[in-house]
A and B are shown apart, each in its own frame.
Chain A
Amino acid sequence: MYLPSAVYHERSRQDHAWWQTAFVRGKMVLLFLLLLVVIPATASVYLLSVANVIGYTILSAMGVQLLIGYCGQITLGHAAFIAVGAYVSAIAMLQYGTGYPLSLLLAAVAAGLWSVLFGLPSARVKGFYLIMTTMAAQFITVDFLITQYVSQIGGRGHYFSLPPGTITIGPWVIESDVQVYYLMVLLVTLCILGMANLLRTRIGRAWIAIRDNDVAAEAMGVNIVWYKLLAFFVAGALGGVAGAFWISSLFFVSPEHFQFGWSLWIVGVILIGGVGSLHGTVFGAMFITLLLEGLKFVVIPLSEVFPALSEKFLNVKEAAFGLAIVLFLLYEPKGLAYRWEQMKNYFNLWPFSY
């Protein structure tokens, strides 16, 4: 942490603070103003919905970032836990009439527990085998359990929409895009703050120790099975929150949203953003979403002149995403967060180069 000159901390509490200088505090205030006031007031409904998608991507990717970036467990089945969260909250609201906050909590807990179930093999297997187990979790949960069995609850079928007015936080009904946006900002902020704080505690340090060298961690007395399962739980809970948020923005839930491709997508997001960094999650989500929206903007006007382009656009999108991941990993393996740090250092250290 680079402190400018004449900033001296006299108490350890100041030293531990999140925002240590007035400059940083000022930046944060501006950021919140931007998010909470400027954007909702000036952005069109379309841009707000893009922002909501970014928020959803961030929430989905956070669980994966925790597992892969901070705990070293590679997981390719996260969409399953997001799905669990979505379905639990949807059913809680529709079937039992609970309010949104309670259903959110239920979703987080259910998804966390489900994630622990599939994290149990991590006590016995590592590396590739763990990847396979998480992939199996993905297929078993979404393609099988949700599709076949959850539909029996309430006789709704496994895809159903939530009529307007179902999602309530106390007296407020969440309906319009602006309201969803505020909900998104709230949830994302809470989750990021929660994660950041968690990583500062003993639990976070244990996770990082496991990531770096689990044998050494165990030798130092860290109970790696316990902490691994805890990581799966928290990651699953974050996924549950993401799922519950998703249905509030879409008012519809179907297994199609949570396929294997989405699991891979969010791993791609954190890789592009930077593994092992919370900033990275946000940057990766923003980059990918905006890149693909931008592609749309270029292609749709062109498609009036070249109809073939719009017909194959989704394939172009998929290929572009794949290429983006590969190129990032080849040339910028530390991701966007690293670039960000480099830029900040540039300004901090100017005119010196190091």
Chain B
Amino acid sequence: MMRGRIVLGYLLGVALALAAAVPEAAGQATVKMGSLNDMTGATSDVGKDIALGIREAVQYVNDTGGINGKRIQLFLYDYGYRVPEAITTYKRFRDFDRVAAVWGWGTGDTEALSPTVNKDRMPYLSHSFSAHLTDPKKTPYNFIYGTDYSSNARAAITVWHDEMWQKDPRFKADREGGVRPRFVAFYSWPTPYSSAPIKAIKDQATLLGFEIGPDQDIPLTALDTKSQVLAAKNFKPHLVWHGNTTMSVAAALKDSSALELGADHIVNNWGYDENLVKLAGPAAERVMGVAVNAFFGEKVPLMDKVTEYAKKMNPGVPLENRLIRTVQSWVDVLLMREALVRADKAGQLNGPGIKDAFETIRDWSPGLGRPPITITPADHRPGSLIRVYTIRGGKFALVKEVDLKQRWPDKWEKEWLGW
């Protein structure tokens, strides 16, 4: 027993020595940033690429002058999409690592942390684009870098209605027979991320004259969705909305094709990437979806840097396996950098200062195919221009862009904020 304890003591000592031996940023001023990621949990199919992208983008920022000369020190942690872990990690960021701002991830934990974050005045830029985070009256310190889920959903259903229902010859007979298009939502009911835009998309569906069928519950890690597809088939939908992430959307698409559901599909941005094509195979043809910026490798400003850093920092991951998620991370990091730089120039590199800096951003874009971002003190929705794509021959092609604000200005300003 004694010997065991001595060995244990040695091991502990070695571990501590190793931890202490990690070189500290010597002398140089740093800006500490925390990042919550999901690399092993239910959304890890998209989360892993995001985490790689964040590291690469931060390295790029540090290589190109940092924040007015200050280096970003990144604390990136995997919380496995478990809300309690997120909360304890946030507290660690706040009290122990003392970060200036946080890059958040999932809707559930971001919304859970929102009251705390707003009380702590910690700027929180999340990959969750839930519309609940966009009303500064309720969540002044929450920011998002992509168009919010509800707007994305509204745009997707609008584009399908305009381009497919109105124009496609497949639906001509139904249109002329006065049939209303039928709509069903496939999403994970218990998951805050999936259920966030449902109210909005149903509102938009009613606005456009759809008939809404029973929702189908598809867990995020679902492999077998046949009974849900069969239940939907009874309703004979024309259009199905997929609110989950790539894995379960692929499963649903495959089952829909195998069981001959006969509907068109629109997918939320986190279910729509290059992996979807790989997982769903031929079932992904003609599936429409939303993307908030350019896909990996598209010819847009700064994409060369993305590819360069991806090759440099993560040579073990082949470029064909990189996804739009990497590009999203870059947009995320560059937007934060912009806010940090502005706050630093104004001499206020603290919580409220960074928040105010965010709210001065007007029509700014980091390139990478991201339409211009505007954040105001009254509205944290970063834009109203949304691009809807489709898959043809395994490749993404733009169908149409929709500017929701231009089309429904009153509703955009007054009704749709915050849900």
Given a CB threshold of 8 Å, the question of whether A touches B is answered with yes
Q: Is A159 within 8 A of B114, CB to CB? A: no
Which chain B residues (91-125) contact chain A, with CB distance < 8 Å?
91-92, 94-96, 108, 111-112, 114-116, 119
Within the complex, what minimum Cβ distance (angstroms) separates B39 from chain A?
4
- Counting residue pairs across A and B whose Cβ atoms lie within 8 Å, the total is 99
A163 in contact with B22 given A158-B190, A313-B78 (CB within 8 Å): no
> Is there a chain B Cβ closer than 8 Å to A315's Cβ?
yes
> Is there a chain B Cβ closer than 8 Å to A311's Cβ?
yes
> Is there a chain B Cβ closer than 8 Å to A223's Cβ?
no
Bound-state CA distance A256–B83 (Å) is: 7
Nearest chain B residue, comparing its CB with the CB of A45: B95
Hey, which chain A residues are within 8 Å of B189, CB to CB?
A: 147-148, 158
Bound-state CA distance A252–B115 (Å) is: 10
Q: Which of B91, B108, B112, B119 contacts A164 (CB 8 A)?
A: B119
A255 in contact with B190 given A46-B92, A161-B112, A163-B115 (CB within 8 Å): yes
Q: Is A44 within 8 A of B96, CB to CB? A: yes
> Is there a chain B Cβ closer than 8 Å to A300's Cβ?
yes
Nearest chain B residue, comparing its CB with the CB of A315: B40
Q: Is A46 within 8 A of B96, CB to CB? A: yes
The interface bits of chain A over 313-326 (1 if a CB of B lies within 8 angstroms of the residue's CB, else 0) are 11100000000000
Bound-state CA distance A244–B87 (Å) is: 17
Hey, which chain A residues are within 8 Å of B85, CB to CB?
A: 314
Q: Label chain A's interface by main secondary structure.
A: helix
Q: Is A303 within 8 A of B79, CB to CB? A: no
Q: Is A159 within 8 A of B77, CB to CB? A: no
Hey, which chain B residues are within 8 Å of A97, CB to CB?
A: none
> Is there a chain A Cβ closer than 8 Å to B370's Cβ?
no
Q: Is A161 within 8 A of B111, CB to CB? A: yes
| Residues of A within 8 A of B (CB-CB), count | 39
The interface bits of chain A over 139-160 (1 if a CB of B lies within 8 angstroms of the residue's CB, else 0) are 0000100011000000001110
Q: Is A301 within 8 A of B22, CB to CB? A: yes
Hey, which chain A residues are within 8 Å of B115, CB to CB?
A: 161-164, 251
The interface bits of chain A over 39-60 (1 if a CB of B lies within 8 angstroms of the residue's CB, else 0) are 0000011100110010000000
> Is there a chain A Cβ closer than 8 Å to B55's Cβ?
yes
Interface centre among B88, B108, B114 (most CB of A within 10 A): B88
Name 22 interchain pairs, CB-CB below 8 A, sorted by A. Answer: A46-B92, A46-B96, A147-B189, A147-B190, A157-B195, A161-B114, A163-B115, A164-B115, A177-B91, A250-B84, A250-B87, A252-B83, A254-B190, A255-B190, A257-B84, A298-B18, A301-B18, A301-B19, A305-B22, A311-B40, A314-B79, A314-B85
